[in-house]
Amino acid sequence: MTTIGLNAGAMLAVIHNEVLKILGDKGVAWAGRFGPDTRFLGGDLPFDSLDLATLLVAMEQKTGQDPFRAGFRQFTTAGELAAFYLEA
């Protein structure tokens, strides 16, 4: 998958799908609202730090992009993460 030509909404959809896969693998059914303001940790999303690390690996495999190659970048929401992948 290439991120060229994707907009923020499309990237959020990719992230959302990966989040649902990770939660499904844990046996967690979650039907909460997912959008650019969704917090990965400390919000309504039943995610922990291991889930977040799994998401980053899955996103790199899915997109072929690693926006963290030069080091960790701070983010808390799905919208912030989507922006990193769109600019990578």
Question: Model confidence over 1-46: pLDDT tens digits?
Answer: 545 556 888 999 999 999 999 999 999 988 899 999 999 999 889 9
pTM score, two decimals?
A: 0.88
Helices within the chain (DSSP H only): 8-25, 49-63, 78-87
How many CB atoms are closer than 10 A to CB 51?
A: 19
The pLDDT tens digits for 37-49 are 999 999 889 999 9
Q: Which domains does the chain have, with CATH numbers?
A: 8-87 (1.10.1200)
